[in-house]
Chain A
Amino acid sequence: MNSQEIEKKVIELLIDKLEISSTQITIDSSFKDLGADSLDQVEIIMELEEIFGITFPDDIHSEDLNLKSLCRYIEKNT
């Protein structure tokens, strides 16, 4: 899966989980910017683990984590 496909999938998940529109998301948006609370963050991380078949480190879910870093990590580890 290339970086654009990864980004598309992550954005789709964020839209679905956080009930936001695509216009609210940029590549630099952090969990905090998108209004994701700590539970949302863990749910998103766990869902991404299932989708991409990877394991994120425990400290990945930080409210400052942005879409760019998230996609980069997935790309490196798939």
Chain B
Amino acid sequence: MKIQLVVLTALIVAGSMFSANAQDAGTILKKMDDVMYSPKDMTGKNRIVLIDKNGKQEIREATIQQKGTDKRIFRFTAPASQSGISVLSLPNDVMYLYLPAFGKERRIATSAKNQNFAGTDFSYDDMESVLFSVKYTPKLVKTESNVYVLELTPIGGKSDYSKVMVQVNETDYYPELMEYYDKGNTKVKEAKYTFKKIGNYWNAAEIEMTDLKKNHKTKMQMSDVKYDTGLVDDDFTVRKLKQ
């Protein structure tokens, strides 16, 4: 009887520890989302540096507009050959690519979202505007040198990644490093984040994404960032994409 009681108590304690742990991971991820998506809206310029395995660099420029957590327009402004090419990310997994040379848009199918976007090391999936807490189930793996290490498992099986390991800053809850694993559990990409505070908000001033298979890097550097300028839903339509 005594042994049964001890086992039962141990199970209850273990269970409550597990549930506290799971809740903590969820809270941490929610806080990271809050940091990344807290402004009502955001506009900015993006300098995109593509670096191949020999160190050869190619520069592209774009503008970004974002509203809330799930609406984003990314528009290339340079080089001239790519100027006007735009991506619109909307709620419910809806994404459009607009090509000015054809004067029309094309819906990006979910099945194509694992592909790299326009020669960068970011996939369409990486570019879409969706809360991490909506896309992934988190597990707190450990806490080390001022970061929480979370293991994120994709929800719904649509992702090409088996998991994403994220290091979240323990004080300010922005991501410092994300490591992406394929279905074979091999690390295939990593993103290093540099966050800077602008007014009340933390801004991802630079994201350096490395494709570890191709040994190719893309740096996205933000500038001229403005928050809460009053963007409206009508700014995020297919019609606007064409303007």
Contacts and interface: CB of A to CB of B under 8 A. Distances in A.
A42 B97 contact: yes
Contacts, number: 46
Contact of B106 (A37, A42, A50): A42
A22 B91 CA distance: 42
Nearest to A32: B115
Among B104, B106, B107, B110, which residue has the most Cβ atoms of chain A within 10 A?
B106
The A interface, classified by DSSP as helix, strand, loop or mixed, is helix
Contact of B118 (A38, A47, A61): A38
Contacts of B97: 39, 42
B85 A39 contact: yes
Contact size range, A: 10 to 19
Contacts of B124: 38
Contact of B115 (A38, A45, A47): A38
B99 A42 contact: yes
A69 interface: no
B9 interface: no
A41 B115 CA distance: 11
A63 to B, nearest CB: 6
B104 A37 contact: no
A19 interface: no
Interface in A41-78: 41-43, 45-47, 50, 57-59, 61-63
A59 B106 contact: no
B107 A37 contact: no
A36 to B, nearest CB: 10
Interface of B: 82, 85, 97, 99, 101-102, 104, 106-112, 115-119, 124
